[in-house]
Structure formats: C-alpha cells, structure tokens
Structure 1
Amino acid sequence: MGNCCKPSHTLPPMSVPPSHQTPGQGLAAAEVRKPWRAWWRRQAPHRQDRFAALAPLVAVVLFLAAIASSFLYLRLEEIDREQEAVKRDVEYAQQQIRLRLLERQEQLMRVARDAANEEIDVEEFVSRAQSLISQYPELQAVSWIDERRRIKTSYAAPSLHTPLMRMVDDVLRPGETETNFSLARDLHQPVYGQPLGTAGDPTPLLQLHIPLTDRGRFAGVVLAEYGTDALLRHGVPAEVLNKYAVALVASDGRMLAGTVMPPSTSGSRLLPWSSQAEPYEIPVSPVGNGLVLRAQAYRTSQGVVGSGLFWLVGALSVLTAWMLIGSWSHTRKRQQAQQALMAETNFRRAMENSMLTGMRAMDLQGRITYVNAAFCQMTGWSEGELVGRTAPFPYWPEEDLEYLIARLEDELNGRSTPSGFQLRIKRRDGSIFDARLYISPLIDAVGKQTGWMASITDITEPNRIREQLSASYERFTTVLEALDAAVSVAPLGSPELLFANKLYRQWFGSQTHGHESLVARAGMPSMPPNDEHLDDVDAYAGLPTDSLTTSDAESAEIHVAELGKWLEVRARYLSWVDGRLVQMVIATDITPRRLAEEQAAHHAERAQTSSRLITMGEMASSVAHELNQPLAAITNYCNGMVSRLNGNGIAHEDLLAALEKTSRQAQRAGQIIHRIQSFVKRSEPKRSLSNVQDIVQESVELAGIELRRRNVRLSHYVAARLPPLMVDPILIEQVLVNLLRNAAEAIDSAQRPPQRRNIELRVLPRQEADVPGIEFAVTDTGTGLAPEVMEHLFEAFFSTKAHGMGIGLNLCRSIVESHMGRMQAENIYNGSECMGCRFSFWIPLAKAANALPNPANAAKTPGVPA
C-alpha cells in the first residue's frame, strides 16, 4: 500500500535495471525500505490482510480518478467554448429583435400622433394599420382605444385567432391589458405589456400601448399586438435558428414561441459530463423582463459519458474493486446487520416499556397475544398472566361484564368507532379507574390482518378535572344569575347574544335589543364601521388598541324610561372563548342613589342659603353701621331743610341741591339693602356667562362693610380683558365674601398694627395642566395656619373660631369644585417668620370647562344639578 501511494521515483530498486543504478541510488532505496518493513512487521495478521485487500482497490480508484479528471477537464473546456458561442449569437439575435421592435414602435407612434392631432380619421387609421400589418408579418392587430377604454376601431391580420380579435365599441378586458392601459395613461410613454394567452393558446400576443396626447390631455392609446411566433421567425437571423433551439419565454416561464430541447438523459445540465449545452437567456429590449429570449445549442457530441473508452475503463475498475471487496464486505455486512437488529429490538422494547399508554394486542379469535409494561402497571397483572387469556378478562369488573362483552363483540367484528369508548378497569387489588380504549386493525408485514391492537389511557384525572370545571361553571352561573346587575355579552358586528343573566332577561328579554340600547344610550361604540367604500379605514377603528386585560372599562349613567330606572352602564371589551372580540355590558340600578343625590343637593342648596344668612347675621352690626351713615345724612338734610323753610331762609336752588343729596343718600341705603337681599335670598343655582369684574365689584362692596368695621384696608387688582366665566355669580360672590371676611378676622385676631392691616385680592389668568382659567387669590397679613389646622381646613364642622360652625370653607371648596375648579391654602413666609396666609381658587374658562371630565361627586356638590 505504501508503494502505490509514493511517487514514481520511489519504486523498488528492481524496477530499475542494474546497469543504470548508481551506488547512491541503491543506498537511498535500502534506507526507504527499512522503515516500511519495520512498520509492516509490527501490524497484526488481520490488519495485514486488510491492507493487502485495500491496496489493489486504492490503485484502481486512483487510476479511475486520473482518467475521469482528464475527461472532465476536456469536457469543461468544450462547454466553455459552446457557452461563449451561444451567448454571442443570442445577443446578436436580441439586437435584431430590438431593432425590429423599435422600428415598429416609431411607425406606430407616428400613427398615434396623427390620430391624437385628428389628422387622420377612423378609415385612414384602418388603412394605415392594414398597410403596417401586411408589410410586417409580426404585427397581428392594431386598435384605436379612447380614454374610456372603448375600442373606436381595430384591424387584425386574417391569421389572428378569432377569440383574440377586438370589436368596435367593446371595452378592454380586465386584467393585464387594463393595467398596461392605466400605466400608459399615467406615464404618457409607450408601455409593453406581458404576453397574453395561455399554454393552450396557439397565438400568444405581445402588446404595445402608445398613449394619445391631445394638447397635454390623455385621449386614449393605440394598442399594437405582436405575434410572438412571427416575431421570432422574422426577427432572429436564420443562421441562429439553424444552430440553436431558440424560444421566446414569458416572465412566468411560459414558452410563447420557438422550440425547446428535450431534457437531457444524462442528468442535470449543470454536470460537466452532460452532452446537452446550458441554455442562455437574455431579456428582449425594450420589452424588459416580461419577454426573454432563450437559446440552447443542439447536441453536437456524445460527451464524456458517451465515450466508449470512459465506460471501458470504468467497467474494468468497478469489476476489479467489486471482486476485491466482495468477500471482505460480506462478513462485515452480516455483523452490522446483526448489531443493527439487536439495537432496533432493544430500542423498540425500551420505547414500549417507557410508554404511559397501555398497549394490548389480540388475535382474530379474541385471545390476548401481547401486552406492554404500561398495561401491566395499569392493571396490576403480569404479562404471563394475561397473554393467552380469553374473555372474560381478569381486569373486567363483574358489574360491567355484559357491557364489556358486547363491546368486545363489536371490536372483533370491526364495528368500533375511531374515537374509542370509555370503560372501567379493575386493578388486581380491586380498585377501579376510568380508561378510554381505542381500537385499530393489526396488519402484518405482507398486509394481512392478524388481529386487533388496542391502546388504553387512564382518564381518571381528566374526568375529575372535567367534573370540577362543570361544578365551577355552575357556581359561576349561579353567582351571575343572583347579581343585582344586568350582565350581557354580545360580539361586535353580530346580532347574537352570547350571555345574559336573570336580571337582564327580566328587563329586556333574551334578545340583543336591550344590550344595543344600553350601549347606544351610553354613547359607547358597539360595532366597528362597515363602510365598504372606505377601503383604507380600519374595520375596528375606535376600539381599544391596548391589551384587553388592561383597557379601562367605560361607564355612564342613563335613564331608561320604559323601566322607570336610572342605570349605571359599564362596558369593556373581552376576547371570547372562541377568539371573537365581544363587548360585556353591566347595568346596575342606581335609582335610589340618584334620589339620594338629588335630596343631598337640595339640602346643600339650603345650607348655602343658611351660610349666607349666617354671614349676614355676623355682619349685622357692620351693616347697621353702614346703613346708619346714609340714614343720618338723610335726617340731617331733612332737618336742615325744615329749619330753613320755617325761617324762609332757603333759596329754590339750595332746596333742590339739598333734595338731590338726600336722594343720593337714600339710593345708597337702598343699594346696600338690595345687595344684601340679593346675596341672602334663596334661588335655584343658575350658571351663565358672567363678567369677572362685576363679580369682584359686588363681592368687594359686600365685604367692605365688615372690612371697614374692623379697620382693614383692601387692595384689589383684576387683570384687563378677562374672558367671561360660565358660573353662578352669587355662589362665586359667596366664596369671595367668605374668604375676605376670614382674612379680616385673621388680621383682627392677630392684632396687627394699622400699617399691617392689609388684604390683597388679585384676579389673574392662569393655566393649570394646560387648561386655561382664572385664579382668584386673597392674601392676608395674619399669623397663618398651623400644620395640624392645614390638614383639616376644608373638612366639614371643623373651625378655628370660638363660635364658628365649620361649614364656610367646606361649602366654598364644594362650590369651586362644582365649577370644575380647584381651591387651596398656603402660608406665606419671610424666612422663618409667617407673614400671612393665601387662599386661592381657580375656575376654568367656559370652553375648557366643557372639555373637562365631570367629577364623580358633581351630583353631590351643593348648588349643582346632577
């Protein structure tokens, strides 16, 4: 083996004649032989036999490889030359077809230009089309089509297939022709269409759409249709057609015209020993990839495989190798087959023993012939105790013998169902478990049925789970039926009602009209839009885009007149058990709550009126002092006029002046009384667009009485051009008056000196959370609020005054929040010293308030209707 793998100069010395050997060559050969001999003697006898058998085989394989390499090299050279020739000739043929198509395109474009400019009529168009078709055989038909895809005129060659002819006033057939028509209209350029026709159509056509443009306006197309077979015969030179199998192929691989070489019998064309040349393809310009020119050289040689010498050498080499390894491989194959059989047997036995499904085989007479380990573990009986037994079997319960014997008869007669059947099996210890049995025929290696095979699965646990699920469903249904709310589930876009509990059925019956009515009245989407003309609109627009398990439920309160009830409707989307998107609606009767809220609002309104009366009561002395001044002035004016009239010492002009002053003082007193009366009188809350300046002015005049009594100065600033507010002005005045009085009382109780007895009222525009509104801020110079007081400041019945009722600030905050506003209080510090307190509330503008969500306690807010 070693000698056949060495180069030729390492052959044994006896291969060289002794007369030609030099002393140096003999010594080198002897040195080479010694290591090989030593290695050969170290090998065991069986390894020497193996090497001796392999050495001739390796020599034959190397010889065959050398011959095959030579043939392969020569064949590759020949294939390269043939491919270059095919490529060169096909490109030449493609240029000829391209020039021919461009010439026809230029001629047709001139016809199209004349037709667009109305230089030719229909008859002239037909005449010119006839001339072109008779002169150029590849042209099969020329048609004039207007912008509405209607055929004005058309001329076709007599040889054209009748179904492909176009009739006047017909409309273009839909599909590829209509697409190319639209493309030519949009591009205003000639467009070649995909070749029409099917595999069975003898005349597939290539289309050319030339647009007609009348002063920039699209006026139709001139449709020229080429016969692909004529285009191939007249466009490809004859010398190319004689040397190659030339064909025109569509983009989908369908052959349109030409000839195709039969498939090579020597294997793939890519193999070098194939005698059939590789085809060459090139797109036909200007058509593009829609039309491909394919050419393949005819068979000119037998190839490597067709060479007799190749087959002779190959046959001798294979015969020699086969004879050498025949006896060597025979024994080895027997050993391998035996080992494979043992491994397969052990694998199948292990697989059967590891299965959890019990297997049992019976012959045609009903005798058990096989059971696996899982079956024995299920029943507790061993294989020896079961194999060979006939019915009744020991694992059959005595009370089920009749049923099991009947099923066994069905099994032996082939009447068992593929879905199997359920039965009970008794273990050896007497316990019972549920099982499911599947029967199938047992077919041997020759296709003959020898018995029946049964697979048994323990279904005790699945049955227990099924019973638990059934009980759980009953509990779930019982809970839903006992709910005090109507629950319904319906799919989107379908009139089907998937679920409805008892209360829903009592209110609305078993139809979906109640579900749809609740959703519609609550203003919630119940069905996706189904506008067929809106192709770009998502069919589920408006539905939640987040996960259904995290999407918030929608809720609304509606009044159902037919039931005479107020219902709180909540809805959310769910994925039903069958994968459909459904909407669940829960309607709860809230009529008692609404009645309670209305009563609470009524009591709150009365509390507001009472609060204003209390405020006026606390300001009684100040009001009396305020009224005393104009009344005293009136008295003085009247006494003075009486005295001067008695003494005849008053002129007519002085008397008029005194009477005018008396009238102004009386008007002043009347205004004070009217303002107090408007403030304390009871009325229904009424919101309207109110001027901020007027609200502040009224509040300042009302609170000014108390402020002057306590010797407190008030400075107020209202920003210019403030927009109106949608509020109840009396309620806002009540809030301002309470805050100004509290500020005056804080300053009075702090016993500030005259220079620090100041209150500042500022009204400015301010945005909160990007919502425009107006802020009212009252700042005093008192001692501020303690932290423990700040925590409970707005709570009901909490007051820091000795005789306070604790409802003023609570009512103020309720009024502000009913107007969608916010109220807060904070101390003002100068370093560590508290310089006073600042109360502020913010009211959104009218448009912003409408956009804000209605708070949950709006119905409970005093003075605000639910």
Structure 2
Amino acid sequence: MSPPHRFARWLPLIPGLLAGVFTLAFAAYLLQSRDEASSQRAALLEQDLLWQKQAIEQQITFDLQSLSGLAATLNVTDLNSPVFQARVLSLIQTSPEISSLSIQNGHGEVIWHTSQTAWAVPYEGTGGWSDVTLSHGEPKVTYAVATPDHRSFIVASIALDTLLQQQVPWWIAQRYQVSLLDHDNHPVTSKFQRQLDTSGISHTILLTAPPLGMQLKADLYATSLSATGDILPALLLILAVSMLASTAALSRMMRVRAEAEVRLKAEVAFRHAVDASLSSGMIAYDRYGRIIYANRAFCEMVGYSAEEMRDFKAPMPYWPPEEFERCQATYEAIIAGHIEPGGFMVRLMRRNGERFDVRINASPLVDGDGRHIGWMGSLHDVTEIRREREALQASHERFVAVLNGLDAAVAVSDAETGELLMSNLQFDRAFQLPDLRGRCCILPFVTRRAEPPVDAEWYDGFRDRWYQIKSRQSTWVDGSAVWLEIATDATALKSASERERQQNEALQQTARLISMGEMASSLAHELNQPLGAIASYVSGCRNVLSSATPNLGQLGQALDKMGEQAKRAGHIIRGIREFVQRRAPRRQRCDINTLLDTVLGLLGHEIVRRMVDVSILQSEGMPPIFADAVMLEQVLFNLIKNAMEAMDNVPPAQRILAINLTREADMLRVVIADRGVGIAPEQQEQLFKPFYTTKDTGMGIGLNICRSIIEHHHGRMGVEANPGGGTRFYFTLPFSSAEEVALEP
C-alpha cells in the first residue's frame, strides 16, 4: 500500500484526536483563567452596555427623523389621505415605542390623533422633549416637532418601558438587568429576568442622544463559577472519549456515504441536464394513475407547476371538455398497459384555456429492484406542425382558387423541356386543353429573354384575338428554372382604345369649332385691321397715280405695305384653318413662347375688351419641346379664355392674368393664374370629368380634352387655389428628344 493510502486510513481518527486535545487544552485554560473571569466579565459588561447604548440612541434618532419627515408632508397632504395614513401606520408599526401620535395646535388642542390610541397627550410649547411623566402607570416622554408653517405640532408619546423591551435583545437580557435612570439616578424602568449577582458587578453610561440627562445601567446576573469550573473539565474529558469512540464508527459511515453522494450528485446532475434540454413533456403515473412526476417542458405546456400536479388523478384539469372522452380513453389505455406503437394523438388545454395537440408515447416505469411501479409518458407538441400543414393546404387551395378566378391565362413551363407544369382554368379554356391531358409541352407566345422581362402583345390568328403577354423567368419549387407566362385577352381593350381615340378626336374637333364660334368677333377685329390698311394703301395709290407726275417711289412703298398686310391676313386665316382642321396628331419641335404668342394674338381683342392685364414670367434658356403645336395651342387657348371669363365679376383693376413658365429638372411647368372668384375644393376634382361645367352655357368637355392632350404628351395637369384669391391651372410637359419622339407609336 502506498503512503498516501496508509495516511488515508488514519485520516478519520484525526478529528477525534483533535477534539480530545482541544478538550484538555480548554480545561487547562479554564482552570488558569478562573481568577480572571470576573475582570473579563466586567470588561464584557462595558462593551455590551456600550453596544446597547448605541442601539437605543439609533432607534431614538430614527424616530425623530421619521417624525420630522412626517411633519414635512402636512404642507401638501390632507390628514385623511391614503398617503399620510399609510406613513403614520408604517411609523407606528416600525416603532412600537411610540404609544400615541397626534397633531395639536399652539394651544395644546388636539386636531387629529391616530386610530390606534383613543387619547393623546396635550402639549404646549415650541417643540422638543418633555420631562419623564407617568401616563396610565407607564413612564413616558413626549416629543413635539413643528410643521413647516409653525401653526401646529406633531406630538409623539414614547413609552420608555416599551423602548427598553424592544431594544434590549434576548442575549443581553439573559446576561444583565438593564435599567434606565433619570438625571437624579432614580430608576425609571428596567428589564430583568433573575436575581442579581451578590458581587455587585454593574456599569452605568450616560445617553448622549435626547432625551438628555438619562443614563443606561446594566447589572450582571448571578452565576455559579466554582461549580462550573469543577464539573466542566470532567464533562469535557468524557465528551472527548465519546468522540474518539464515535469517530471510528462514523468515519466508516462517512466514507460509504461520501461515495454514495458522489454517485448521486453525478446522477442528479445528469438527469437535470437531460430534463432541462428536453423540449418534449415527460410525465409519470403510478400504478393507480396518480401523477408522480412532471418535467419542466410539460409544466410549461399545461401551465401547472409540478407541485400542483402531484397526486393529480383523472379527470385531469388540462383535459378540454369537448375532448374529455378521447382523453379519458387514452388515459385508461395507458394505465391498462395498452401501448400503441405510433403513440396517441390527443388535444389538451392550457391553464388559460388555449388548446394544443400532442402525440403521447408511453412505456412501463420500473424501479431499481425491477418492480413495475407505473407508466412514463412523453408528449410532443404537434400544434404548430398540424397548423402549418393545415395552413399550407389552405394556402394551396386559396392559391388555386385565386389562380382559377383570374381572367388572365397563367401557365408555368419548364425552361429546358417546355413541359407544362401548371396552368389555370382560364388558360385551359382559352387554348382548349383537355382536363385529362397528361404531360404536354407548350410553345412560347413571344421570344423569351431573362432581362428585362418581356411585356408584349401577341395576336392569335386562329381565334382572331389579341393578348397582352407578360413573360418572366422564375424558380420552381424544386429549384429548377421555369417560365411564368400570363396572357391577358386585350381584344376588347384594343377595340375600346380605338373607339376612345376616335371619340377624342371628334371631341377635340368639336371643341375647336365651338372655340372658333366664340372667338368670331375677335377674328373679325383681327382681319379688319389688315383689310382696312390695304384699303387705305389702295386709296393712296390712286392719289399718287392721279397726279401729273406720279411718284413711283411712294407707289412702290404703298404696294409693299399692301403685300405685308395681305400676308398678315393670310397668316391669320391659315392659323384659324389649322386650328379647326380635323387631322391626326403631328409632333414636331416647337417653342412654347411662339405657341403662347399665337394664342394671345387670337385672343387679343378679348383681352382688350375685357380689360385684362396679362403678365408673362419665364425662366431663361428654356429648351424646345416636341409636341403637337395645334393641340397645345388649343390647351393654352381654353385655359387663358377660361381665366379671363372667371374675372368678369371682379373690378377691372383686379383683372390680372399671370402666366408663369418654369423648368423643373427635365419638365416644363406652365401655370395660368387668375384673380377671379375661385373654385370650391369639392368642385376642383370634378372639373376634368366629361360634361361637368360651372358655366351656364358651357358643355363641360374643354378641360377634359385639355387633360387628355397633356396626358397624351406624357404630362400632368391639375388645378389649385391661387394664394390671394382666384384659381391656378397648371400642366407639365417633358423636354423629350427627337429620337424619343421618333420611337413613339
């Protein structure tokens, strides 16, 4: 045997040997220190009394601070408020030496006192401590603290005997008689249990905390030191021998127990780790069906703790009422030993009433002696699995229902083989595919490309139908590449679009004719000017020719002027002709200022007749736009004419028409603002609807045509209130390039 093992054999005897040596040493020490016991007890008495003094002073200080804090709350707190009552109750419960508590005015009249006492000590003064008095046979002192407004006092009566009983601990009371003395050294109150020692060992110390002048005295109780000194060594010797004898037997038991504890701790730690890591619930029944064990996971499932479920018997509180019979049958089958290989599917109920589904697998529970003591069951929460399965099925059904409800034909085909993987009902009907068709391939509608996705039109010559095709490359559920193609029947849309185009052209023609009828007087005025000038020049030519020597130079100048006026009249007539001519839209490079000048020239007579002040503000470096000049002239004509008509009912000095041309990035913004009566907000959105008008003689198609023209040029048109009164119509047009215009259909 190795030396460490030999030492280990004697190791259990060491505590007994040490106990014997300690006993002998302690007995020798006791005999030697017998004479010094008295002095040591006196010193201990002084230390204990000093500690007791500090405890009493700390409690008195705490009481004074609590009373001062309570007095401070009387400025903002009602005496009957829950906060004040709670603080008073807490103070009395924390400091039982406060026998009564009251609030008194400066004349000693009690305003309020605690419900714990039916009387209060009257107090007259300016605050502080009173002398010791006897109240109901008990020595007491009174302390008063003034409130912040100095109109009242909180008066507390402190029972000195209760203070002594509460602050003197049991171990002090068993050693000494503790007394409180007044300034004349007369005992006020005491705490004692036995007769005093005849040796008269005592000590007195002055209290430094108020109430001042009181002293604390401790008298040592009587003990039999001689008898203790004679018997104790013998008892210690017997004890040492007994300890030596018991140590030998105890060491063997401790060794066996230590080995068992090590194995038990390892087993418990392993079992705890396994139990903590399980997400499945584990539950054990005894042979009578009572629950004897439930792990953490099962407790979290049902919402009951393991202590609550211990000794539960059927019916269990976690069985739902609607599933009671099924749960009862499963429970009885497990107790009877009828184990299903695949387990049992049941629905349980949490403590909050929530239902959840579990799968239960059971097995016999056998103890260490091989006896069958019950059944162990494992429960797996399958609620989410079942819910996901049902949600997936429902989602698939909804997807199929939505897909079949679409008006568009949808098909998914394999990118490599062209095999049709899925199609909706509309696709099968549109292209006459049978229901039981088996595997088949389809041809793409248009040429496919991955980037960018294809959006094109396709004509079915066999059925004489137009389709809008959207082709996208995607990934199928198995990760393979597929093509998703959506074919929307656009035959009716194309027919409607063509009809709408023809109707818009007719409406635009009608609007132009109406506008020409309204501006007839203006046209007459514009034509009268060049015609009158020509007549004047003709009369001048006659005068020159009638002279004896005609001035040929003057005659040539008059003829040139006549030609210019004839050209001017021709330009006016040609512009009117183009304005009212019905033709297809023609986009070309044009300048917005030129278009504006043409429109203002056509409306010049109306501007003068209506006394309208027209102002034009534009940004510098405005690039040209590519648009249909006649259409934009019609928009400007209608907006400017409407603005002038809106100011008929305002004074002439306020008839201001502001035209603002600005550039916003790559867009031209045109704003036409008037100072008329304005348009109500609820009418602004209605203005652009067909046949809606605010005029008595209007047809309600002008603004609708204007918006259609602007949107045809990829712009936007709107209306808003003009700050300061009136209305502002605005529209935007893009600065397109000639190449972009050429690519447009």
TM-score calculated relative to the size of structure 1? 0.43
TM-score calculated relative to the size of structure 2? 0.49
